[in-house]
Amino acid sequence: MQQPARALCLLFAACAATPPAVLEPAAVELSGTVAYEAHLARPHATRDLTATVHVFRDGGRARVELREAAAGQANPELTTYMRDGDGACWVRSASSKQFRREGAATERFLRVLLDAAADASHGEHRVAFQHARLGDVADEAHWVAGSTGPELHVRWHRTADQVEFVLRRTATTPAFDAATAFALGEVDATPPAATRAPAPARFRTLAPGVHEITLPTADSRSLAIEFQDHVVLCETSLDNPSGEQLLAALDERLPGKPVRHVLFGHYHPHYTGGLRPVMARGAVVVAPPLGAAFATEIAARPFRSPPDALAASGRQVVVETFRGERTFRDDSNELVAIDIGAHSHHTDEYVVFWLPRQQILFEGDLGWFAGPNGLRGGGERARGLLQAIDERQLPVATLVQSWPTVGMATLPMAEFRALLAK
Ligand SMILES: [Zn+2]
């Protein structure tokens, strides 16, 4: 019967604007594990690393040093988070010399972590909010009784992944010098992307019946395949606002042609995050089995306060499963969705989009990057893609890629082969 008291406690913690009274000690070491979810071979798989966290605080200012290492990795990677005297948050990654400005996600993480690390009464600390892709969630840090003593569990929902820490307090008090520990030095003060208005969608017709919609802020490209009385949308970008942007571009440029089917190449956030607004219009999701199960999960995500378009629509989302290939065809156009699976060297299922009449093949993130010295092939992913194309003897003339959007989005097939032959 402890549930009501616990709920009250959570409510209080979520509403408490002031940090707990106990702020000492000012330097703490925690060690344990950190798991990252969202960019692996299949939904809910995690990348597990060891983590050592040093927390330093001085009044409202704080510095958090996170050292992470994979199994067998000798030198941990250091990421440093800082909260300055004005409450602004900053991060410096292992590969950067400068701190850059961070937004609400980092503010939430630091708030719950710092409050929990300094909380001698081992209470719960959470910030509830609506995530643009995951819905109504909470970033939280709370202590639980572990087998070897108290464990601090931290859940953090970032823009493009989810992070979970399990940490224990060590006997070490890391040394720090308050006079220098909070110096930011030269910084990159560009406002965080999440606080800026998204750049307008760019609509471009690549070939008859094939239209590209690029969203520069989300760094994603979708294709709208136009049929006689409808559209099939391939790839849905990062989150609800991105999905709404795609639909607005289609409403403007292809009016009277509703999205009848929506597909995604693989389950990663930049391809599935914008599904819900498209589902809200009644589009049928079509995917291989793992992707279909994931789409059903996305349809069930809690977007209650406030309701998003799908929640407000009250619709039952229809998800159709295919194995291998699925063809969409009428007199005007043809699209073949092909699951190349293990050939992707990226995810267990990986759908590419073949347009036989235009000889275009659209793929997500396997092919190439635009580097400072020109194009660079995507390694084993790119070779696997080429193998999948050649095994099926697809007469591809042009490749179109969803990500990255900076650099060349389309590549003649001959150039792709030449790139991989280097
Ligand atoms: Zn990916």
- For residues 14 and 192, the model is more confident at 192
Asked which of 159, 192, 225 is the last residue of a domain, the reply is 192
Ligand 1 center–CA 403 separation, angstroms:
9
Ligand 1 center–CA 39 separation, angstroms:
6
pLDDT digits (tens, 9 = 90+) for 117-138: 888 888 899 999 999 999 999 9
Ligand 1 center–CA 356 separation, angstroms:
25
Ligand 1 center–CA 385 separation, angstroms:
13
Ligand 1 center–CA 64 separation, angstroms:
29
Mean pLDDT rounded to a whole number for the chain: 92
Ligand 1 center–CA 329 separation, angstroms:
28
Ligand 1 center–CA 366 separation, angstroms:
8
CATH number of the domain bearing residue 176: 2.50.20
pLDDT at residue 178 greater than cutoff 60: yes
3-state helix, strand, coil in the chain (%, to 5): 25, 40, 40
pLDDT confidence of residue 373? 77
pTM reported for the whole predicted model = 0.91
- Asked if 90 and 84 touch (Cβ cutoff 8 Å), the reply is yes
pLDDT at residue 360 greater than cutoff 90: yes
pLDDT confidence of residue 25? 54
The mean pLDDT value for 151-179 works out to 93
Instruction: Give the separation between CA 302 and CA 113, rounded to whole angstroms.
Output: 25
Ligand 1 center–CA 144 separation, angstroms:
34
Q: Based on the structure, what is the number of domains in the chain?
A: 2
Ligand 1 center–CA 38 separation, angstroms:
9
Ligand 1 center–CA 374 separation, angstroms:
22
Ligand 1 center–CA 157 separation, angstroms:
18
* Claim to verify: residue 124 and residue 241 sit in the same structural domain: no
Ligand 1 center–CA 117 separation, angstroms:
34
Q: Which domain holds residue 134?
A: 3-192
* Claim to verify: residue 273 and residue 382 sit in the same structural domain: yes
* Claim to verify: residue 150 and residue 210 sit in the same structural domain: no
The mean pLDDT value for 253-274 works out to 98
- Asked if 260 and 330 touch (Cβ cutoff 8 Å), the reply is no
Contacts of 228 (CB under 8 A, 6+ apart): 330, 331, 332
pLDDT band at 6 (very low <50, low <70, confident <90, very high): very low
Ligand 1 center–CA 145 separation, angstroms:
37
* Claim to verify: residue 29 and residue 165 sit in the same structural domain: yes
Q: What angle do CA 212, 217, 219 make, to 5 degrees?
A: 55
The mean pLDDT value for 280-301 works out to 98
* Claim to verify: residue 286 and residue 402 sit in the same structural domain: yes
> What residues have their beta carbon closer than 5 A to ion ligand 1?
268, 365
Ligand 1 center–CA 265 separation, angstroms:
9
pLDDT confidence of residue 14? 41
Closest CA to 215 of 192, 193, 191: 193
pLDDT band at 208 (very low <50, low <70, confident <90, very high): very high
